[in-house]
Amino acid sequence: MKKLSLLGALVALVALALVAVTTGGAKTTAAEPAKATAPSGATFRVAVVTDIGGLNDKGFNSLANKGRLDAQKQLGVQTRVFVTRTASERIPNLRAAAQQGYDLVIGVGFLMFEPLNSVAPAFPNTKFAGVDVPFELLKKKPKNVRGLLFKEQEAGYLVGYFAGLQAARKPAQGEHVVGAIGALKIPSIDRFIAGYQAGAKRANPKVTVLVNYAQDSTFSDQAKCKEQALNQIANNAAVVFQVAGGCGLGALSAAKEKGVFGIGVDSDQSFLGPHMLTSALKKVDVAVFQTISAAKQQGAAFRGGYNVIFDVKSGAVGYGKVSPRIPRGDITRVEAIRRQIAAGTIRPPQAPQ
């Protein structure tokens, strides 16, 4: 709990850091571990260390693992995934991967920033990358760590625009209301929500956006997110956007039960059923694959000490399949917004209102 209490202060630091980072797309030139899997003759070795939530979260961790498996198949690298089940396993898993001689170790999740700051300096010849880990947060500034960040606010803006249009078309009890539920108040989640708020209000100036946090550091307690969603729906939310990993599946379950639309996160979660309006895509698999590819190609020249940014322009964030119940005109309008974001004429905010 003491560590989590520091997150509020870190949010502002991360927002400032992102402003200072060079943007414009993904720059690829630049515990109980699972069994290692590898094609014969592989020499470059990569370890992916998941965050809490597991490989079956249908989103963040599963996408990171997909990037690992894609790289193994397409690039001929040897890979292994270390599954983090509790917060206390983050450091041991990172350290084990480095000690076992993996050339590149990728930590998944914002809460890996302290473990990476602790482990990476002790292994200067090992390359590290952190998904959602801003390099600026690493107090020791280890030059062998590269941050892999996303403009989640852009994906949030797009799905928020869909939500705002839906609330205008079918208001609940005559009120234009949509909701968003985060697992924790951390930078990547806040960026999703900030974009969602702005997009919804751009589409529908009358809309009210309800925002709640489940306070689930495990990202897997579906009951907590479901409770928050049910409260929002009781307050006339016509759409519920989950930004909470496995926990958020509970929010989408509530949307299904109550007959309102849900919006997924990270991966395309349309497979959950006809209650899904769309999903805010954050292609962690693309970031992991491209980072592995760059590290293998560049060898010792692969450098850390900075962040790579993935955005709408590079195709690494966006929106997924859209419900057939949504008018084609809505999709046309959102596509126009997407092009404006890619061109830089719309710049969604990073901080929630």
Strands (DSSP E) found in 196-346: 208-213, 239-243, 261-266, 276-282, 307-310, 317-319
pLDDT in tens, 253-289: 999 999 999 999 999 999 999 999 999 999 999 999 9
Number of H helices, E strands in the chain: 10, 13
Confidence of residue 175 (pLDDT cuts 50, 70, 90): very high
Position 57 scores a pLDDT of 83
Is there a single domain that holds both residue 57 and residue 157? no
Spatial contact of 70 and 46, defined as CB atoms under 8 Å apart: no
Position 182 scores a pLDDT of 98
In DSSP notation, 11-30 reads: HHHHHHHHHHS--SS-----
Cβ within 8 Å of residue 86, ≥6 positions away? 52
Is there a single domain that holds both residue 10 and residue 45? yes
Is there a single domain that holds both residue 101 and residue 179? no
pLDDT in tens, 176-220: 999 999 999 999 999 999 999 999 999 999 999 999 999 999 999
SS3 265: strand
Is there a single domain that holds both residue 28 and residue 103? yes
Whether residue 350 is contained in a domain is answered as no
Query: How many percent of the chain have pLDDT more than 70?
Result: 88
pLDDT at residue 33 greater than cutoff 60:
no
SS3 54: coil
Position 22 scores a pLDDT of 34
Is there a single domain that holds both residue 21 and residue 133? yes
Domain containing 141: what range?
4-150+283-310
Q: What is the pTM of this model?
A: 0.87
More confident call, 24 vs 337:
337
pLDDT at residue 314 greater than cutoff 60:
yes
pLDDT at residue 2 greater than cutoff 80:
no
- Average the pLDDT over 291-312 and give the result: 97
Spatial contact of 93 and 84, defined as CB atoms under 8 Å apart: yes
pLDDT in tens, 86-144: 999 999 999 999 999 999 999 999 999 999 999 999 999 999 999 999 999 999 999 99
Is there a single domain that holds both residue 207 and residue 72? no
More confident call, 123 vs 35:
123
Instruction: For residues 42 and 332, give the distance between their C-alpha atoms in angstroms, rounded to a whole number.
Output: 46
Is there a single domain that holds both residue 291 and residue 214? no
Two structure tokens written together for 350: 């990073």
Is there a single domain that holds both residue 263 and residue 273? yes
Is there a single domain that holds both residue 137 and residue 191? no
Instruction: For residues 122 and 128, give the distance between their C-alpha atoms in angstroms, rounded to a whole number.
Output: 12
**Strands 104-108, 261-266: pairing kind:** unpaired
